Every structure is written in C-alpha cells, then in structure tokens.
Chain A
C-alpha cells in the first residue's frame, strides 16, 4: 500500500477485524518489521532513523497494558525518561488534568479501573509532546464521560497542530472527528478520501425522507436535492396524507464501510 498522511490531519483508519489496521500501526511504531517497503514519520525512516521517528510518535496501544509496580505519576515520569526528557512534571500535570487523572496521580496502576488505565495509556503517549499521535481503538470499553473528555482533548491537540491517526470500531466517532479516512481490507487500502466525499459516494445526491402520517402510515421518499422536497410533500398532502413527522436519513460511514468491506 501507499499512504501519505499530511501534517495536521485527523486521519481515520477503518476496516473490519483482521484488515491490517493494527499491523500497519505496529509497523509505523516499530513494533513490527515490514517484509518490504518503507515507512517514515515526519521524514524519519522508522527503521534506519528509528530514534527520531519514535520521538515524533505517540502511540496509544489497543491492549490495556500497564506496569503494576508503579503509580500513575511514576509511570508518566518513567515514560518521559524513556524519551530522554527529565523534569517534565509541569506537562505531566497538565496532561493528567485534561484526562481527569489528577486525583489518581499517586494511585498504583493495579488499583485503577479499566477506563482509568486507558486514560493513563493516552497520557503516556503524550508525555513527550509528539507531533504525531496514533490512537488505536482509544475508546474501546470506556465510559461516555471519558469519551467526551478524550475527544475534547484530542481535538484540541489536533487544533494545536498535532497530526492524529485514529483506528476505531465506532464509525460515528471517525465520521465526527476525521477529516480524511482510509479503509483497509485484507491489508490493502480499498478507499482513501475525505470523509465528506466518502459519504457522498454512497448516497450520491439522493436523500431519503421518511414521512410519518397522523394515521400511522409511513411513506419513504427518495429525492434529488432538497429543492424537490417541498414538491414531494405537497404531492403527499394532495393525496390526503396529514403529515405528523418527517425524518431525513443521512448517509453514514457504516453504509460506506459495509459497501466497501463486505
């Protein structure tokens, strides 16, 4: 595959289980070696210039891993040190604050709930302020509150110029946050376009309208553009339909996903 993610993008990597999303991320992160080809992060080859490449990269792994010997703060200090940074407490405090971890700073990792451990994983990926942040299923199994807080923080990082690469099974998250999406299937890219174009590709210019009548009947209309909507509704009224409610069905990524990957 050939894929270039531009600086500052919020890029989504989607695909069914086994499509190769995590393998691709592992190759980028240096956790797996590609049989052939090359990958660079901000111009640094992940094999030949691995130290520079890894400094550019913050990865939130999919598995809920932690070191049971240490507290949250110790884990973050250690991770800073691995990246060659000492005296990083100001930034560590800020990251913990944004991820609502401050109250748990001195708690042992073992004592944290799954959601809290996920927050620490995110914090560990950010301790060295990497320009590129890779989130591999960051919201898998976490509560709504964390999701909201996490996305707010990630969007702020993106607004500050950080490149975000996201894999998720929650397609609505990708649709909401990603400006561009690549879809993988069997280790190949089957779609690569802006989110808007991908959505348009599944529906074209047609919109589906569900009309609920007062007598409980339901009418489905397919219209070409909203300009035709009033004419179609007028036609229904002429047929004696008393309109109680109208629902517009917008195309979503799930339809794109199913069409391209099934």
Chain B
C-alpha cells in the first residue's frame, strides 16, 4: 500500500504545487461562464419550475469543472512523464498496475473535486442554492471524477505526443461536456438531438449531479448512476488491461 500512497501523494503534490494554474484558474473560468451566461440568459430561460436559470446553471458548471479537471490531471501528468522520461521512476518500482491506475485516478478525483468545490463556493456567493439530495450530488461527483480520471489515464497511456492528447481533449472530452446539458435541459432540444444526448455518458453525470440540487432531472438518478458506473468499469477495465500489457509504457 505504501507504493500506492506514495504515487497518490506525489500526484496530489504535483497539482498542489501549481494550484494557481490547476485549481484557481479553472475556478475563475467557470465563474466567468456563470457571470456571462447567467447575465445573458437569466429570465429568458426557465428549465425547472421555481428554479432560476443561474441556479440551474451552477450544478452544471460545477460538474463540468469536476470532469474537465479530473481528466486534465491524470492525462497531463502521464503525458508529461512520458515525454520527459521521468515515468521511468514509476516503471522501475515494484508498483502493480492496479496501484498505478488507482493512484492516478484518486489524485484526479481530488483535483476535480477541489476545483468543483471552489466553483460551488464562489457561485454560492452570487446565487442562492439548495441541496435537496446531497448524497446523489456526492455520488455523481465522485463517480464522474473517477470516470474522467480513468479516461485521462487512458488518453495518457495511448497518446505519445502532446498534440494527440490535445486532440482527444478538444475533439472528445470538450464536445461531450459542452453537449451534456450543462447550459440547458435536453428536454428543450429537438427529438433527434435529445435522442443523441442520451448516448452521451456525460449527460447522465450532469443530470444526476443536478438532481441532488433540485430533486428534478431528465432521467431517474438511479438509472444515470448505473450508466456512469458501467462506463467507469468499462474504461477502468481497458486501462488495467493496457497497463498490465505495458502498452506504450514498456517497450
């Protein structure tokens, strides 16, 4: 277990040492989203009865921050270690592939949740929020961060260059996040796009997370949680198999 704790602590320290860039900057970005979209759309959109648009927006922005930063943590750490070569220190050590995977995922969860908590704390200063079912909020935050942390591990293993990782981030993670209902309810979409949104696992994370705040969602939270958990298990399995085989890590 010491190996796992050390790798986990190292990954924590790595982002804490540059927390202005890894925590404060994404919090600021999300708050800017809140200020701009809230200002423009407040009073023009009503998603749930009795819920102001800015209040509707906050959980989506919080979850988006959790997801994007969890992904950024594991993926950037791995690709940097691979490119600079210091991944060798981990590869030479008696660390099992499961310890490797969980340490990166757990540290990614920590960063995702830290940024999410920051966005929530700052937003609470502007917007009156209520938490109807905090256990759902927590469950989706943890599982969503774990899924994106695992996706970051996957992208970090598969990518050999920074631009490959950037392509994964810009063409997969970002569109899936932005089209997951952060800024709107999928009920407002035309039928085709609504159907397509149901194929996006990020939608279930945002929707379930939001349920914890308002007690209302497009899909029952239990169903969403099962879908997110299945997606996590699938990604985790692929990561563990790749790590066991040494794919793109050991020649």
Q: Which residues of B lie under 8 Å from residue A51 when comparing CB positions? A: 94, 96
In the complex, B17 has a CB within 8 A of chain A: yes
Given A65-B88, A82-B89, are A55 and B94 also a contact pair (CB < 8 Å)?
yes
In the complex, B200 has a CB within 8 A of chain A: no
A106 to chain B, nearest CB (A): 14
Q: Are A79 and B94 neighbours in the complex by a CB distance under 8 Å?
A: no
Chain A residue with minimal CB distance to B1?
A84
Q: Which residues of B lie under 8 Å from residue A67 when comparing CB positions? A: 81, 84, 86, 89
A-B contact count (CB 8 A): 80
Interface string of A72-86 (1 = CB under 8 A from B): 001000111111111
Q: Which residues of A lie under 8 Å from residue B125 when comparing CB positions? A: none
In the complex, A187 has a CB within 8 A of chain B: no
A44 to chain B, nearest CB (A): 10
Interface string of A24-40 (1 = CB under 8 A from B): 00100111110000000
In the complex, A52 has a CB within 8 A of chain B: yes
In the complex, B92 has a CB within 8 A of chain A: yes
In the complex, B246 has a CB within 8 A of chain A: yes
Given A63-B85, A65-B86, A82-B7, are A31 and B92 also a contact pair (CB < 8 Å)?
yes
Given A69-B13, A69-B17, are A82 and B85 also a contact pair (CB < 8 Å)?
no
Q: Are A81 and B86 neighbours in the complex by a CB distance under 8 Å?
A: no
Given A31-B91, A66-B86, are A78 and B10 also a contact pair (CB < 8 Å)?
yes
> How many residues of chain A have a CB within 8 Å of chain B?
32
A211 to chain B, nearest CB (A): 53
> Which positions in B face A, CB cutoff 8 Å?
2-3, 5-7, 9-10, 13-14, 17-18, 81, 84-86, 88-96, 246, 250-251
10 pairs, A vs B, C-beta closer than 8 Å: A26-B251, A30-B92, A31-B91, A31-B92, A52-B94, A69-B17, A81-B10, A82-B89, A84-B2, A85-B2
Besides A30-B250, A67-B86, A74-B13, 19 more A-B contacts (Cβ < 8 Å) are A32-B250, A54-B93, A61-B85, A61-B92, A63-B88, A65-B89, A66-B84, A70-B10, A78-B10, A78-B89, A80-B6, A81-B2, A81-B6, A82-B94, A83-B3, A84-B2, A84-B3, A85-B2, A86-B2
